[in-house]
């Protein structure tokens, strides 16, 4: 299915972000100069790393630009998604880890002059990354990513499947990133106006970088006080587990959650989106068993889809740090 990216988001910027004060320059206004037709993927990656990404960073500080909520980083040499290395990842904030991923980008060789689309193989690689993100973050309803050759861009939205419905992929048209500076002379009034004409791709990327987290599929548990999530500890067949700080204490945050213990060795089950209603049930159970500490952790906070539990007070918690990031890998326990 094909749609235009702006309808995915509640608000689309009306102007192109400038990356410098004074004489304005658009982030992508020299795309055709930096990347002539036919240049290889390595050259495209270099332009994003050395030009576009630093410019987007500068644009965050220029007065008048829309507020950027997502920081785009070069991750093509870093295992930033499990063991995978997407070319670019948009993060909500530090720490730059899977819990804070807003969107994923992949660079491809510059299209030839008469080419205007990406191949199915190129699309398949990005879709694979989106599937991996949804597997690592099973409480997310969708994931968004884009393919680009530095001049063109195409967005993809992958809706997570359910027991009754398969995953659903929606893609946009392939559009240009480049925006040119347009000088308009109004001789009658002796006025000179400067404005940007922006190709749709640049607007859509700006919209994604300024979008609210929920528009990009980031539906994280909300607590009375902010939780600072530091790292992914592991994912099981039905769960995700993260180390976090809440109210100044090291703890664990469980997204969509069920928790049981067998003796001194813990068995952690974190339910996915279709089982989020169990979070409140588990809170009641754990509070009823609070007298059995340290075998049973305390509930520090609860939301409709998650629990924050007390720091580990027994060695049986240590196995969590050895859990793999992929459910198909074997789990090592002490």
Domains present along the chain, CATH in parentheses: 5-216 (no CATH), 227-322 (3.30.200.20)
Per-residue pLDDT, averaged over 204-218, amounts to 89
Confidence of residue 135 (pLDDT cuts 50, 70, 90): confident
Which two three-digit tokens encode residue 230? Answer: 């530091």
Q: What is the mean pLDDT of residues 94-118?
A: 89
Residue 188 has pLDDT above 50, yes or no: no
Q: pLDDT above 70 covers what percent of the chain?
A: 67
Q: Which of 31-45, 114-128, 204-218, 228-242 has the lowest mean pLDDT?
A: 228-242
Of residues 294 and 119, which shows the higher confidence score?
A: 119
Beta carbons within 8 Å of 292's beta carbon, 6+ residues apart: none
Using one digit for the tens of pLDDT, what is the confidence trace for 196-206?
A: 334 688 888 98
Highest mean pLDDT range out of 3-12, 32-41, 286-295?
A: 32-41
For residue 54, is pLDDT > 80?
Answer: yes
What is the per-residue pLDDT for 68? 87
Question: Which range among 119-133, 174-188, 250-264, 312-326 shows the weakest confidence by mean pLDDT?
Answer: 312-326
In Å, what is the CA distance from 262 to each residue of 29, 215, 259, 266?
A: 61, 39, 10, 6
The predicted pLDDT at position 251 comes to 53
Average the pLDDT over 223-231 and give the result. 68
Starting at the earlier edge strand, list the strands of the sheet with 306-309. Answer: 227-235, 240-246, 249-255, 306-309, 299-302
In angstroms, the CA 221 to CA 121 distance is 35
């Amino acid at each position: 299915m094909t749609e235009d990216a702006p309808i995915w988001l509640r608000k689309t910027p009306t102007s192109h972000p400038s990356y410098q004060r004074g004489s304005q320059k658009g982030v992508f206004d020299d795309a055709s100069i930096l990347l002539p037709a036919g240049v290889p993927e390595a050259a495209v990656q270099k332009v994003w790393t050395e030009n576009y990404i630093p410019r987007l960073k500068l644009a965050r500080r220029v007065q008048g630009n829309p507020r950027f909520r997502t920081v785009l980083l070069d991750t093509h040499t870093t295992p930033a998604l499990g063991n995978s290395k997407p070319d670019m990842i948009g993060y909500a904030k530090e720490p730059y880890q899977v819990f804070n991923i807003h969107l994923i980008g992949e660079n491809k060789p510059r299209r030839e002059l008469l080419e205007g689309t990406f191949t199915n193989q190129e699309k398949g690689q990005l879709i694979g990354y989106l599937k991996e993100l949804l597997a690592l973050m099973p409480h997310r309803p969708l994931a968004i990513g884009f393919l680009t050759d530095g001049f063109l861009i195409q967005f993809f939205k992958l809706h997570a499947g359910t027991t009754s419905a398969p995953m659903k992929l929606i893609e946009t048209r392939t559009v240009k990133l480049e925006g040119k500076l347009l000088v308009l002379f109004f001789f009658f009034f002796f006025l000179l106006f400067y404005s940007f004409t922006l190709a749709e791709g640049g607007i859509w990327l700006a919209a994604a970088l300024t979008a609210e987290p929920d528009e990009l599929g980031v539906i994280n548990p909300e607590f009375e006080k902010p939780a600072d999530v530091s790292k992914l500890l592991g994912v099981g067949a039905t769960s995700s587990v993260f180390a976090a700080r809440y109210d100044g204490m090291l703890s664990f945050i469980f997204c969509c959650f069920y928790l049981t213990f067998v003796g001194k060795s813990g068995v952690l089950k974190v339910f996915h989106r279709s089982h989020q209603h169990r979070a409140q049930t588990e809170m009641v159970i754990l509070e009823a068993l609070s007298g059995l500490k340290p075998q049973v952790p305390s509930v520090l906070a609860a939301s409709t889809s998650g629990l924050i539990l007390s720091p580990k007070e027994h060695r049986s918690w240590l196995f969590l740090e050895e859990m793999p990031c992929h459910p198909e890998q074997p789990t090592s326990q002490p």
